[in-house]
Amino acid sequence: MVKVQQDDNTQEKILEAARAVFLEKGMDGARMQDIADRAGINKALLHYYFRNKEKLFETVFLEAASRFFPRMVNILTADTSLFEKITRFVHHYISMMAENPYIPLFVLNEVQKQPKTFLAKVFGNRRPPIEELAKQVKKEVAQGIIKPIDPRQLMINMVSLCIFPFVAKPVVQWVLKMDEKAYSAFIEARKTEVATFIIDSIRK
């Protein structure tokens, strides 16, 4: 059926446009008219597909989040060495941010505006499996494999190094005078740069 295909096309066009507009403007700044325009349709059809702005956003966001979390949980709970774990974590985290660059800033905003509600919606009951990594760090510190470090600080460092260049993309581009291509290359390079940066820091 060609119709169904058309249907999917339009829906995907809308989601793509929504991603772009939400990225640029945030939830408050995003205009339904903008999204419709960018999707090449009109407002009526936009509301025909998604009842309202909130639903549209939820669809866009949960779609990305549902791809994100399972992979990170896998990496963190896998039976691998600490250095291997850090390397894989950084690579995958940066890759996923690069694929969904609109997410992190949005999350930070929503979580700022309504911490409880939002965190509940995203994580539900489950928390990120940080205990695994913490234990592993403590163990390797005790064994003298790595330098002493607070596992919590290490974890925040890892996430900071992965996420920040995305939420600060325009500033990074401006300060370092990068066009899109240079920025992409810079991010690509970070996948290994950040991993070695972290490992070099804690290795004895």
Residues of the chain by 3-state class (helix, strand, coil), percent to 5: 80, 0, 20
Which of residues 50 and 106 has its CB atom nearest to a copy of itself in the complex? 106
| Cβ atoms of 86 and 80 closer than 8 Å | no
CB of 54 to DNA, least distance (A): 6
Near a copy of itself in 156-175, by CB under 8 A: 156-157, 159-161, 163-165, 167-172, 174-175
Near a copy of itself in 86-115, by CB under 8 A: 105, 107-109, 111-113, 115
- Cβ atoms within 10 Å, residue 1: 6
Among 23, 32, 41, 98, which residue interacts with a copy of itself (rule: CB under 8 A)?
23
Query: Cα–Cα distance between 189 and 89 in angstroms, integer?
Result: 15
Size of residue set near a copy of itself by CB under 8 A: 50
φ, ψ (nearest 5 deg) of residue 178: -110, 140
Q: Which one, of 60, 63, 54, 65, lies nearest residue 39 by Cα?
A: 60
Among 48, 69, 123, 174, which residue interacts with DNA (rule: CB under 7 A)?
48
CB of 19 to DNA, least distance (A): 16
Stretch that binds DNA, among 27-35, 81-89, 138-146, 171-179 (CB under 7 A): 27-35
